Amino acid sequence: MSTHLQVSQGDRHRTPLMSAAGYAAMVLVVLIIAVPLFWILITSFKERQDIYVRPAQYWPSPATTDNYRDTVTSIPFPAYFRNSLIITALLAAAKITLGVLSAYALSLLRFPGRNLVFLIVIAALMVPNQITVISNYALVAQLGWRNTFQGIVIPLAGVAFGTFLMRNQFLSLPTEIIEAARLDGAGPMKLLWRVVMPMSWPTLVAFSLITVVNEWNEYLWPFLMSDNEKTAPLQVGLTLLQNNEGGNNWGPVMAGTVLTVLPILILFLFLQRQMIKGLTAGAVKS
């Protein structure tokens, strides 16, 4: 009895310390993420001579929007922005569609070699994309797909992460509801769209948001595949902007970075609750 009371008192003493340590770690992580973003934002409003002053200015004085004007006029910014929208939309549509269908097949359909296929998908998660860059580049160049959207989109359309995430979600669904729908005569596609997907909406939103963010920020492969404003995305355009400015005027580069991040930030603010709900629901159920 006394031993139990001592343990309980010890747990009560440790709980505030663990909570304080958790909050301290959270604050540290937020600072690590927020400080560079804050510096990018204030630099985008600084005049050129104020960017390199010592000691550093932590607030633009005076503030100017010339960097944003230079970003839009120095490079064909609308064309790069349009290309990013097209590439992100095509890749997101392909990955979400293929991820949902493949996860459905690997979780709720029965066919020979299903487990082997899933092991191959898991193995694909462990292979960095950079390893396949040389072989993919040689193949795409041989097909004459450089400076085309299909040359950028098709090699990036793999869905190993989405298949893994959605498969875990589908396996966590109540089997009674699935079997009842099958007994009512629901075929594979009707079962997917009428039963499975409505119960998996939060996870699908999380998967979609992660996919959109990743594809919007994709740089290496589009940089290798495109070198003009007809197909190059914003990330490649920012590189050209830095080169146009001689590599020493970071104001327009920072302004372009803010304009590039802003659409994804707005999207995340609207969908963050669904994303967190989907990821935490999947983690608890798995």
24, two tokens: 């301290």
CA-based torsion, 164, 166, 167, 171: positive or negative: positive
Q: In the Cβ-directed half-sphere of 118, how many Cα atoms lie within 13 Å? A: 18
Q: How confident is the model at residue 7 (pLDDT cuts 50, 70, 90)?
A: very low
Same domain, 77 and 34: no
pLDDT for res 286: 45
- Rounded mean pLDDT of the chain? 83
Which domain does 39 fall in, by range?
Answer: 2-44
pLDDT for res 274: 66
Cα angle at 251 between 65 and 81, to 5 degrees? 80
pLDDT of 256 over the 80 cut? yes
Same domain, 30 and 105: no
pLDDT for res 277: 64
Backbone angles phi, psi at 231, to 5 degrees: -135, -10
Same domain, 23 and 146: no
The pTM of the full predicted model, rounded to 2 decimals, is: 0.81
Average pLDDT over residues 41-57: 83
Q: What is the pLDDT of residues 156-215, one digit of tens each?
A: 988 888 899 899 999 988 889 888 988 888 888 899 998 999 888 888 988 998 899 899
CATH number reported for the structural domain that contains residue 184 in this entry: 1.10.3720.10
In a domain, 50, yes or no: no
